[in-house]
Amino acid sequence: MSEIVGEVQGHRDGHGFVVSDDGAVSIYLSPQEMRSVLHRDRVKVRVLRFDRRGRPEGQVLEIMERRKTPIIGRLLNEGGVWLVAPEDRRFGQDIIIPAKGIASAQPGQVVSVELTEVPSLHAQPVGRVVEVLGGIDDPGMEIEIAVRKYEVPHRFNDDVLAQAAKLPEKLRPADKRNRIDLTDVPLVTIDGEDARDFDDAVYCEPAVVGRGKKPNGWRLIVAIADVSHYVKPGDPLDRDAYERATSVYFPRRVIPMLPEKLSNGLCSLNPEVERLSMVCDMLISAEGEIHAYQFYPSVICSHARLTYNEVASILGNTRGPEALRRAAVVPHLLDLHDVYRALLKARAKRGAVDFDTTETQIVCDENGRIAKIVPRVRTEAHRLIEEAMLAANVCSADFIMRAKQPSLFRVHEGPTPEKRSTLKNYLKALGLGLSLSEEPTPGEFQALAEASKGRPDAQQIHTMLLRSMQQAMYTPINSGHFGLAYEAYTHFTSPIRRYPDLLVHRVIKALLGSSRYILKLPPVQSSVGTFKGRPGSRGGQSKGLPPAPTKSTMRIKLPPEEVAAWETAGIHCSANERRADEASRDVEAWLKCMYMRERLGEEYGGTVSAATSFGLFVQLDSLYVEGLIHITELGGEYFRFDEARQELRGERTGVRYGVGTRVRVQVSRVDLDSRKIDFRLVKEGEGGSTQASSASSGRKKPRMLNPEWDGAGSPQDELLEVQRTDREVKRAAKRAAKKVPARSSGGSSPNAAGAKTSTGKASGRKSSRKR
């Protein structure tokens, strides 16, 4: 049988998987096998057997490497025995702590544990407390747990801080050499109210495109902080930046990729101070096409620090108080708005996807707890900056492609055959009148998004369209960006917070200097595990897709070690991006659980956001919090999951709960450890096309068998009651059928008719199948 080496991925239910190094194979480990290993251990396994679906099950032969990272958990004392329950449920086993190993920790506190004895088939792991983080309810504890749970580097090494301390406080004459002086150009930054690092500034003016004499287009300048001037390959700063690969954003706190002296100081395009930048200088036609572009290093001075809300107010009222206060930059903002509208035309022409989904923002109080959750409103100012950044990113990709230089591209591939099939079935069930081809284009997705606008379930449809797509990733193999409908796309505009952008800057600078950038990775071991997602690799995110299109970058003759370096960098940066997203979601889930823990028993209206075989996920209207109605809480009958319609359907009543269904729920349980919120269905939505519907329009409104039930019993009791009633009704029908003679063509016996009617109502399980 096959022997495979890979990394253990634990599951909160006790079993686990071994994922091979290339991500192509995943082997199941039973709970018994998981007793001797821990999540993230590196092992060699032998495939023992295959289940009915052809999935392999393995046996651990050898533990190649144990994870040495401390484990985070809560210290408990059970029957005089000290133990730590890991915060990450994927570890699957509590860790025994000897009395001498608890340090100064108190029961219930969150601690960091180092293993002193590894687990075996017959013994639990043993460890000692190496750090006491504090009480579970301490302000900011959720972030302290998340950065350790997901192994996010959150402390800079001493040599990094020492190097940052030696950097100057302001620009020196030597820094300005061989740069174009743009300090007189009224560039401005436009960011959120709470932003602290400003890595992009913009300016626009009317310009002549082509041979005309009158302005028929625009000159758009996008200036990006020149981080590569300060962070050189091989430096301690570069090593730590690569290890982090991205900044991590939490409510009220940021874990930056670079030390604050750089991220908020020397590299941040703060107003009224000179800063070094890399400029993408573009000519945009009236149709929104990029007619020409050039890159060059420059010195700039931001003339204003504007916010999205401020710019939106100015564009909405050029005579308002905000416009009067910023009178000097208003004409250039209007030019920016004009070029934005032209870029929108080009976006629509190429068929880029633009979904209408609601993003939320958590507003915290002074103690770090949720004060409120509000929808994040995207204004014209947000879209304006987004289109300007997209244009600069596309130019950087084109510049690198034309030079046939290796780099990291931002690749987003279309839906896999499996996801495409699920989506097609869902759209067919909705009856939109539109479907997807076998090789769907971004334009088809955008057409579906446009066709569904105005429907009550538009947001749910857009969410389903979004879920059908693959995640974007970084890779040296360019296969285009599906969502944005670009043939080539890179990230150039955020080098303060993304390492791939820094690499792109280095490649462009080398090309401007008529040389070639050779990537040499810092000596950092990736701590994010196996990442599945290289385009064209077996078993990765591109499973089922045809081979990635051959682009010019794939024909470059590179030394094998350089090819491996670029591939490793792409995998590392993509995996760290996923890790940052998971850590942020974990903190938000924690805060939402704390928020809802104070609202146990309260009732809210909500909308079904997803249907599964085990229940319904519901998002509350006013709170923007999502929780689960388990299938046993839906009432006293059997429910079947219809994958095509993405809905649960009751076999007895025919009641249907699908994406977009309006429901009323009660908050029944909050589990802080697993970050889960449970609801109980208390009332179905009334009115509108999105309410829970019956399979037959003529049927009376479905109801639970015991309308007076006050919740003292369990859903299982309800189910038993339904089954008992069904059996009694069937027996009564059989007895009636034996006593009543056969019907003549002229009529029927009242008793027989009554039995038939009674059976039809109580035993709807059979009739619903026929329909």
Kindly report the three-state secondary structure assignment for every residue of 332-361: HHHHHHHHHHHHHHHHHHHCCCCCCCCEEE
Tokens of 257: 């990729």
Q: How far apart are CA 487 and CA 352, in angstroms?
A: 12
Tokens of 330: 């208003």
76: helix, coil or strand?
A: strand
- Position of tokens 């708005």? 337
Residue 391 has pLDDT above 70, yes or no: yes
Q: How far apart are CA 10 and CA 87, in angstroms?
A: 13
Which residue did the predictor score with more confidence, 274 or 672? 274
Residue 46 in contact with residue 15, Cβ under 8 Å? no
φ/ψ region of 170 (left if φ > 0, alpha if ψ in -120 to 50, else beta) reads beta
Mean pLDDT of all residues in 184-199:
92
- Confidence (pLDDT) at 528: 57
Residue 528 in contact with residue 579, Cβ under 8 Å? yes
- Contacts of residue 52, Cβ cutoff 8 Å, sequence gap at least 6: none
- Contacts of residue 745, Cβ cutoff 8 Å, sequence gap at least 6: none
Residue 643 in contact with residue 422, Cβ under 8 Å? yes
Residue 671 in contact with residue 753, Cβ under 8 Å? no
- Considering the chain, what percentage of its residues have pLDDT values greater than 70? 84
With cut-offs at 50, 70 and 90, classify the pLDDT of residue 726. Answer: low
Residue 81 has pLDDT above 90, yes or no: yes
φ, ψ of residue 299 to 5 degrees: the values are: -115, 125
According to DSSP, residue 228 is labeled G
To the nearest whole number, what is the mean pLDDT of the chain? 84
- Contacts of residue 524, Cβ cutoff 8 Å, sequence gap at least 6: 239, 242, 243
Which residue(s) pair with 361 in the sheet? 374
Which residue(s) pair with 657 in the sheet? 648
According to DSSP, residue 515 is labeled S
Mean pLDDT of all residues in 371-387:
91
User: What is the CB-side half-sphere exposure of residue 523 using CA atoms within 13 A?
Assistant: 3
Residue 699 has pLDDT above 70, yes or no: no
Residue 4 has pLDDT above 70, yes or no: yes
Q: Which of 323-337, 352-366, 632-646, 705-719 is least confident?
A: 705-719
Q: How far apart are CA 729 and CA 726, in angstroms?
A: 5
- Confidence (pLDDT) at 723: 55
- Confidence (pLDDT) at 487: 93
Tokens of 2: 């096959």
- Considering the chain, what percentage of its residues have pLDDT values greater than 90? 59
Burial, 9: exposed, middle or buried (Cβ in 10 Å; 0-12, 13-18, 19+)?
A: middle
- AA letter at 699: R
Residue 516 has pLDDT above 60, yes or no: yes
Strands 188-191 and 304-307, how do they pair?
Answer: parallel
Tokens of 128: 């000692």
| Cα 223 from chain centre | 28
Nearest to 311 by CA among 303, 302, 322, 319: 322
Nearest to 189 by CA among 391, 396, 384, 320: 384
- Confidence (pLDDT) at 720: 52
φ/ψ region of 485 (left if φ > 0, alpha if ψ in -120 to 50, else beta) reads left
With cut-offs at 50, 70 and 90, classify the pLDDT of residue 468. Answer: confident
With cut-offs at 50, 70 and 90, classify the pLDDT of residue 738. Answer: low
Q: How far apart are CA 355 and CA 458, in angstroms?
A: 10
Residue 253 in contact with residue 144, Cβ under 8 Å? no
Q: How far apart are CA 518 and CA 745, in angstroms?
A: 92
Burial, 36: exposed, middle or buried (Cβ in 10 Å; 0-12, 13-18, 19+)?
A: middle
Tokens of 304: 């204003």
Residue 533 in contact with residue 541, Cβ under 8 Å? yes
Strands 81-86 and 95-96, how do they pair?
Answer: antiparallel
Tokens of 520: 């040499």
* Angstrom distances, CA of residue 414 to CA of 387, 429, 448, 751: 22, 22, 15, 62
Find the length of the chain.
771
Q: How far apart are CA 19 and CA 7, in angstroms?
A: 5
Q: Which of 24-33, 261-270, 482-491 is least confident?
A: 24-33
